Amino acid sequence: MPVPSTPSHRLSAAQQKFYHENGYLLGLPAIYTPAEMAALNAELPNLLALLQPGETSKDIREWHEASTYLYEIAMNPKILDLVEGILGKNFYFWASNFFIKEPRNAATVGWHQDAYYWPMAPHHSVTVWLAFDDVDEVNGGMKLLPGSHLGGIIKHKRSTQTSSVLTLELEDGSDFNADAAVQFRLQAGECSLHDDRAIHGSPANPSDRRRAGLTIRYSGTEVKNDLTVNPNFKTYLCRGTDEYRHNPYGTPPTRRYGRPNFKPVSNEEAGKV
């Protein structure tokens, strides 16, 4: 059932204009208070305990399908109000993924566009990046190139000779200026929004502080997934109505912590190379 709104997190016309011109939004009101965020962080080890040998926190993908802990975050009315300001009144969520950089971790996230990985059309999706820790340039916070979402999808290359957790990155020589990137800074409990076509990435975390964030992906109901590429794709209607019925629906979870009984298609497997 669609979740009702909470007016305090509605985007202003100026914020909507900035997002559509630049492909991202920062400076948003907090989703969770410090006490609420501390409680969510206290529960996170229960989810990490479900990882199997050889897996890392990066493998916590689509676990909202089996964990009310994650499903309830994705359906938080404050987050949905922000998303509705970008996507309009009819939208669903379909993906979640933890990105945790432990202290003194050399892993990076290379420059990329989310839309390149996703077998979905048209491009009308937004990512919410919810900070579980304070995030800045010291502990590997994300950077994004303003306006890059307006330049179309750029060819990506596959490489295993990289420190990036993604093996598909923008090709060398792609026409963009990394020096123009905006540094994301968030306090725990805050979130950012970015367009699925915006070029972004993040450096390593050489600090003594963890950098954990949960990404949640939302799309307008007109966006259709290619089930031949991602056959386990499931949607959860957040607001409005689904007049298109392009995609299958998932069943909301009932357990506090769980993992789906399938292995989600990875970004690399879905990437067009």
* 196/212 Cα distance (integer angstroms): 20
Q: Are 137 and 183 in contact (CB under 8 A)?
A: yes
Residue 249, pLDDT above cutoff 70: yes
- What is the β-pairing status of strands 91-101 and 211-220? antiparallel
Least confident of 60-64, 89-93, 160-164, 219-223: 160-164
Contacts of 242 (CB under 8 A, 6+ apart): 90, 92, 221, 235
pLDDT reported for residue 96: 98
pLDDT bracket for residue 207 (50, 70, 90) = very high
> For residue 42, how many other CB atoms are within 10 A of its CB?
9
Residue 70, pLDDT above cutoff 70: yes
Amino acid at site 183: Q
Please provide the CATH number assigned to the domain covering 50-270. 2.60.120.620
| DSSP 8-state class, residue 271 | S
Mean pLDDT, the chain, as a whole number?
90
| Peptide bond before residue 122 is cis, with ω within 30 degrees of 0 | yes
* 16/174 Cα distance (integer angstroms): 28
The pair of structure tokens assigned to 88 is 């309009």
117 sits in which H/E element: helix 114-117
Average pLDDT over residues 10-37: 97
pLDDT reported for residue 273: 36
| DSSP 8-state class, residue 267 | H
* 189/175 Cα distance (integer angstroms): 35
DSSP states of 35-81: HHHHHHHHHHHHHHTTPPTT--GGG-BSGGGT-HHHHHHHT-HHHHH
74-117 pLDDT, tens per residue?
999 999 999 999 999 999 999 999 999 999 999 888 889 999 88
**Maximum Cα–Cα distance for the chain, whole Å?**
49
Domain ranges of the chain: 50-270
pLDDT bracket for residue 168 (50, 70, 90) = very low
pLDDT bracket for residue 163 (50, 70, 90) = very low
Amino acid at site 167: T
